[in-house]
């Protein structure tokens, strides 16, 4: 099986999306609103409200994209599989999609 290496990651301001480009010329695009960006405050998981400038600071490291300042890290394989956060987050997204259809 060919390993399609991620070679670049950036935030697309116009589409408010994370874009990951791969060695074969393909790309994955994920709206940032789908990504569970949270921090643990000692009691619970609290959503992070990131600015556009903070989102533009996305970095690529091996099989991960991350926002160092925000403390957020996502595995590219999870994104490709449609996994954007913890189970409760994914259940909430699924419920929203069901209501919208």
pLDDT of 4? 84
Render pLDDT for 36-85 as a digit per residue (tens, 0 to 9). Answer: 999 999 999 999 999 999 999 999 998 999 999 999 999 999 999 999 99
For residue 21, the 8-state DSSP code is: E
pTM of the shown model: 0.91
Q: Is the pLDDT of residue 19 over 60?
A: yes
Report residue 23 CA to chain centroid gap: 19
Q: Is the pLDDT of residue 2 over 60?
A: no
Q: Which two tokens stand for residue 8?
A: 């670049």
- Polymer length of the chain: 101
Pairing relation of β-strands 72-75 and 27-31? unpaired
Residue 18 backbone dihedrals phi, psi, to 5 degrees: -85, 130
Residue 73's SS3 state is strand
Q: Is the pLDDT of residue 1 over 50?
A: no
How is domain 6-100 classified at the CATH fold level?
NE0471 N-terminal domain-like (3.30.2020)
């Amino acid at each position: 099986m060919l390993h399609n290496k991620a070679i670049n990651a950036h935030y697309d301001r116009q589409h408010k999306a994370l874009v990951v480009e791969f060695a074969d010329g393909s790309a994955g695009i994920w709206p940032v609103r789908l990504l569970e960006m949270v921090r643990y405050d000692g009691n619970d998981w609290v959503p992070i409200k990131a600015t556009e400038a903070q989102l533009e600071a996305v970095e690529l490291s091996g099989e991960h994209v991350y926002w160092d300042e925000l403390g957020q890290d996502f595995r590219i394989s999870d994104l490709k599989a449609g996994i954007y956060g913890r189970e409760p987050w994914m259940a909430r997204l699924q419920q929203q999609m069901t209501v919208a259809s």
